[in-house]
């Protein structure tokens, strides 16, 4: 095309008049540095060779990452050189960093600026400032508007290879070995030919009938008819495949031949219909896409195993799939009669989506973030509307890599270069500093110039208007935006974030020392930003963070809340916590009121839901004139019975240190009119009582803190019994008593465990605690510990089971109990597929005006989801999040210290937690 182009008389004259320019015109191929996987180049050695033979000088920036070796460019006549400033045209694939731009040059690359993409606006500003002429490959189109320079085919090829590999992994996770297990990721092959052979080999096994029968016929749907779709189909054709019409998909998905796979290519007319009459008119659709809807969710998707999406979504056009569609498509299918435990049926037909368009929030509404070559797959769980990096669990396997051609870099480079080469010379024969009007460009090249001589070209002036309108909309939106600072990213943060991010007008900042947890949370939620910091050690930074927000939610240990509260007081920012309203917090009451802010405490499970359930019952009793004569409440977070298989009968779903310290707290309660005081230090564990209200659970309970202080806030001074306690499985208290005897539940500072001192082993620490000189023989230490435990065998077995007599290093901590908490968190976590359980029991004795007595029983039992949130996370996180939202929305407007004891607070929260699956039951026993 270049030679034919240059033989035309007009162009000949142009070239001769510029013949002196040939020797001076220099082209540079810049190094790709935006992504570790970007190994492509815009031109291959064969294109460089042709350019150098035409008299042009070609510079190639050195790069060991580039897939085509430098020696091949040198052999073609290129010059490997870092400095490319003499080039008049600099070409690349992806955008260069702003600080690498050279003023008044011609640049050609994919700029991703034509939709005023916010992330690339600083780049565009710098291009304008440096008076660079920008050619954007994406806008190089022919007279029909079709792109003439693109990698599309290779995106399709790579995407298809990847999803076949992903299907192999997903099938395996569901209990099926398939021939797809022998297909790797696209970048694992030297070239597409090797990949084709791997796919053919898998296809051969399929043709032999080696696909598991219980998975049924496999169907693949390709959307679009462009190069992306064609590239994917080219790879698909290496399988024993049969293409059918979309309307035939339903039948073949049920009765098709298991020795082949089925494909269908979807065009607009197959699924788009006008809303009012069910017809499709292509001309009308182009004018009024908002009048149309897609039937893909009902007519195609239910019969699709894997969707290969190659279409971009434009505003006001119908989507292929919404979140609601996904929920319906993931409803489990009826069990097949031939399915067994070893040969399970698939949970649902739609298993995988390869969104080659990588158009976030586009035609696949729930594809909200791209995956990467490093982490190519994720699972979308439509029920919980969460995405997790895995091929296991519930949901649809998603693959949405946005730089697929980089996986086959050599072929992609050659393919792209063939398309770009015919236009290189006319871009090269101009200086970026010359006026655009003086350039004799073809329409393909001229229409691709985004910016020149310090201004947007006429065709792209709309970009500035888009920016202005977006910035104006953002300013309006920010005026209505509520800003929440969440401190802590542990167990409870998931439900808090999930609930609050349902409102797009809530922006959340999460601050935590846990970097990996922060990264997972920001990946999952688009309106969440993260700050990696220890807020306790950086008070000034904490104060600056608090100042920028409307509300703070603290999920930190209760000891940190006074510091956080002081920062909220200083900056007049509301605060919500799930922890007890401690004396240290109560001391801030006057300051909170003077600041005119709301500080809500005790908004979790216990304390939290226990208050609310109690007050709901008490307020209703008072409405009929009854008085409360007794109140008993026990609550515990436990492993589900089948997972309580350790000496403690316990696993950790919340702060381990808090759990341990609760066992050495003091306690006070009222029983039959007598106040009972239990001193701190472990005596609490001698006050354990069997709990038989759920006999099958084999529970025990012990008092928790000062129960008597709730008589006044509950308004039940008439009660002769007032007891709040903790539930555990039988055996827990005895085991924990052994740790108390050994001095392991000691919160005092212990400098020998500091991170700045030589590490101790548990064996060495235990020697110090029992008073023998280390190093001691194992049997000597064991006997000393046994003696310290007063010869209690079960307590000794627990110490041994936890490895506290061994050579494992003690985790660095401020105290012994802190170190034990870290150790237990590692030893007693919930494993994959294990779930926890919440049990709460309130018993309220009432005396009615008639004189008869009534015992009210309120039961709350919640199980965790083994693939989702724990019961503890749900029952603490959702009430906290709901209370926070009520403060943001003005539903809770009381100033000062607030706990959930009034109907205007507990009523809406109890109603809303039921919608989150936290459901309680009540029953009564009437006594004469």
**How many residues are present in the chain?**
928
Q: Is 28 helix (H, G, I), strand (E, B) or coil?
A: strand
The Cα diameter of the chain in Å comes to: 115
DSSP state of 758: P
Q: What span, in angstroms and rounded, lies between the C-alpha atoms of 724 and 704?
A: 6
**Rounded Cα–Cα distance for residues 751 and 764 (Å):** 15
| Closest by CA position to 416, among listed 167, 155, 654 | 155
Closest listed residue to residue 176, CA positions, set 218, 125, 114: 218
Active-site residue among 136, 381, 507, 606? 606
- The helix (run of H) or strand (run of E) holding residue 717 is none
Question: Is residue 683 within 8 Å of residue 677, measured between CB atoms?
Answer: no
CB atoms within 10 A of CB 615: 23
Return the structure tokens found at 142: 């022919």
In this structure, the strands spanning 261-266 and 292-294 are unpaired
CB-CB contact of 363 with 311 (8 Å): yes
| Pairing label, strands 79-80, 306-309 | unpaired
3-state secondary structure of 665: coil
- Strands 378-381 and 449-452, by their bridges, are unpaired
Collapsed DSSP state (helix, strand, coil) of residue 739: helix
- Listed in order, strand segments (DSSP E) in 785-889 are 836-847, 853-863
Residue 261 CA to residue 692 CA, distance in Å, equals 58
Q: Find out whether 266 and 222 touch, Cβ atoms under 8 Å.
A: yes
Measured in degrees and rounded to the nearest 5, phi and psi for residue 181 equal -65, -20
Distance between CA atoms of residues 138 and 312, nearest Å: 14
Dig out the tokens for 278 from the structure. 């069910």
A 10 A CB-CB count for 775 gives 13
In angstroms, rounded to a whole number, what is the distance separating the alpha carbons of residues 92 and 109?
A: 5
How many whole angstroms from its chain centre is CA 469?
30
Q: How many CA atoms lie within 13 A of 297 on its CB side?
A: 18
Measured CA to CA, the distance from residue 395 to residue 388 in angstroms comes to 10
What the block records as the tokens of 293 is 């809807």
Pairing, β 551-554 against β 627-639: unpaired
Is 606 one of the catalytic residues?
yes
Per-residue b or e along 635-656, where b marks 16 or more CB atoms closer than 10 Å to that residue's CB: bbbbbbeebbebbbbbbbbbbb
Quick one: 730 exposed, middle or buried, by C-beta within 10 A (0-12, 13-18, 19+)? middle
Whether residue 402 contacts residue 383, with contact meaning beta carbons closer than 8 Å, is answered with no
Peptide bond into 920 cis (omega under 30): no
Taking only Cα atoms into account, the Rg of the chain, rounded to an integer number of angstroms, comes to: 34
Name every residue whose Cβ is closer than 8 Å to that of residue 861 and which is 6 or more positions away in sequence.
694, 837, 838, 839, 840
What is d(CA 303, CA 219) in angstroms, rounded to the nearest whole number?
7
d(CA 122, CA 79): 31
Q: Count other C-beta atoms under 10 Å from residue 811's C-beta.
A: 17
SS3 306: strand
- Nearest residue to 405 (alpha-carbon basis) of 352, 358, 353: 358
Active-site amino acid positions: 606
């Amino acid at each position: 095309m270049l030679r034919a182009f240059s033989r035309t008389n007009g162009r000949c004259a142009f070239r001769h008049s510029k013949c002196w320019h040939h020797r001076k015109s220099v082209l540079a191929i810049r190094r790709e540095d935006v992504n570790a996987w970007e190994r492509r180049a815009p031109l291959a050695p064969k294109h460089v060779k042709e350019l150098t033979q035409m008299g042009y000088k070609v510079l190639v920036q050195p790069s060991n990452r580039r897939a085509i070796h430098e020696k091949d460019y040198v052999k073609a006549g290129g010059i490997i050189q870092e400095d490319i400033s003499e080039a008049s045209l600099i070409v690349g694939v992806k955008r260069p960093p702003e600080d690498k731009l050279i003023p008044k040059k011609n640049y050609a690359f994919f700029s991703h600026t034509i939709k005023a993409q916010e992330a690339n606006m600083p780049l565009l500003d710098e291009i304008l400032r440096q008076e660079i002429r920008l050619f954007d490959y994406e806008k190089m189109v022919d007279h029909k508007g079709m792109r003439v320079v693109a990698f599309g085919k290779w995106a399709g090829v790579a995407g298809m290879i990847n999803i076949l590999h992903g299907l192999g992994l997903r099938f395996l996770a569901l209990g099926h070995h398939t021939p797809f297990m022998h297909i790797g990721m696209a970048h694992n092959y030297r070239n597409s030919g090797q990949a084709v052979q791997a796919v053919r080999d898998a296809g051969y096994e399929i043709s032999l009938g080696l696909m598991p029968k219980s998975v049924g016929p496999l169907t693949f749907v390709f959307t679009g008819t462009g190069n992306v779709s064609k590239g994917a189909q080219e790879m698909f054709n290496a399988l024993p495949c049969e293409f059918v019409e979309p309307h035939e998909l339903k039948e073949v998905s049920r009765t098709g031949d298991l020795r082949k796979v089925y494909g269908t290519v979807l065009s607009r007319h197959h699924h788009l219909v006008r809303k009012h009459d069910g017809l499709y008119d292509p001309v009308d659709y182009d004018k009024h896409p908002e009048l149309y809807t897609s039937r893909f969710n009902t007519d195609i998707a239910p019969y699709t195993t894997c969707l290969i999406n190659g279409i971009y979504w434009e505003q006001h056009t119908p989507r292929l799939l919404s979140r609601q569609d996904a929920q319906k498509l993931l409803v489990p299918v009826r069990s097949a009669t031939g399915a067994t435990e070893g040969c399970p049926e698939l949970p649902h037909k739609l298993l995988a989506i390869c969104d080659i368009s990588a158009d976030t929030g586009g035609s696949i509404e729930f594809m909200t973030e791209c995956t990467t070559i490093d982490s190519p797959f994720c699972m979308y769980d439509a029920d919980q509307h969460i995405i997790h990096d895995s091929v296991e669990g519930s949901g649809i396997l998603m693959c949405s890599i946005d730089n697929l051609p980089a996986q086959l870099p050599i072929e992609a480079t050659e393919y792209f270069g063939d398309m770009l080469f015919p236009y290189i010379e006319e871009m090269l024969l101009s200086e970026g500093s010359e006026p655009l009007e003086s350039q004799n460009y073809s329409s393909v090249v001229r229409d691709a110039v985004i910016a020149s001589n310090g201004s947007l070209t006429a065709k792209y002036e709309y970009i500035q208007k888009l920016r202005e309108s977006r910035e104006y909309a953002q300013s309006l939106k920010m005026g209505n935006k509520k800003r929440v600072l969440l401190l802590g990213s542990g167990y409870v943060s998931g439900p808090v974030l999930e609930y609050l991010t349902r409102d797009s007008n809530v922006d959340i900042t999460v601050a935590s020392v846990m970097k990996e947890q922060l990264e997972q949370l920001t990946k999952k939620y688009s309106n969440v930003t993260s700050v990696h910091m220890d807020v306790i050690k950086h008070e000034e930074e904490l104060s600056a963070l608090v100042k920028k927000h409307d509300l703070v939610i603290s999920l930190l240990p209760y000891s940190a809340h006074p510091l956080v509260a002081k920062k909220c007081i200083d900056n007049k920012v509301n605060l919500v916590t799930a922890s007890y309203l401690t004396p240290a917090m109560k001391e801030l009451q006057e300051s909170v009121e003077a600041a005119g802010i709301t500080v809500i405490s005790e908004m979790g499970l216990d304390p939290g839901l226990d208050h609310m359930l109690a007050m709901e019952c008490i307020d209703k009793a008072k409405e009929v004139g009854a008085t409360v004569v007794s109140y008993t409440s026990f609550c515990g977070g436990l492993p589900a019975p089948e997972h309580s298989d350790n000496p403690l009968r316990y696993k950790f779903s919340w702060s381990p240190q808090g759990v341990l310290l609760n066992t050495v707290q003091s306690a006070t309660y009222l029983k039959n009119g007598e106040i009972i005081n239990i001193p701190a230090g472990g005596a609490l564990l001698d006050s354990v009582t069997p709990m038989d209200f759920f006999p099958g659970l084999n529970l025990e309970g012990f008092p928790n803190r000062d129960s008597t202080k709730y008589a006044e806030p509950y308004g039940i001074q008439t009660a002769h019994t007032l007891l709040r306690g903790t539930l555990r499985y039988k055996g827990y208290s005895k085991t924990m008593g052994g740790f108390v005897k050994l001095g392991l539940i000691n919160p005092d500072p212990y400098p020998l465990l500091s991170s700045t001192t030589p590490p101790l082993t548990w064996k060495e620490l235990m020697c110090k605690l029992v008073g023998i000189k280390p190093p001691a023989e194992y049997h000597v230490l064991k006997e000393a510990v046994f003696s310290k435990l007063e010869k209690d065998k079960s307590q000794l077995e627990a110490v041994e089971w936890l490895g506290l007599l061994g050579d494992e290093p003690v985790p660095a901590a401020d105290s012994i109990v802190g170190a034990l908490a870290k150790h237990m968190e590692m030893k007693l976590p919930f494993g994959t597929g294990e779930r926890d359980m919440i049990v709460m029991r309130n018993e309220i004795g009432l005396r009615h005006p008639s004189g008869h007595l009534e015992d009210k029983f309120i039961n709350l039992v919640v199980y965790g989801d083994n693939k989702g949130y724990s019961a503890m996370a749900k029952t603490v996180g959702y009430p906290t999040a709901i209370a926070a939202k009520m403060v943001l929305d003005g539903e809770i407007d009381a100033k000062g210290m607030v706990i959930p004891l009034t109907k205007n607070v507990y009523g809406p929260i109890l109603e809303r937690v039921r919608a989150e699956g936290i459901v309680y039951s009540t029953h009564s026993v009437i006594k004469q």
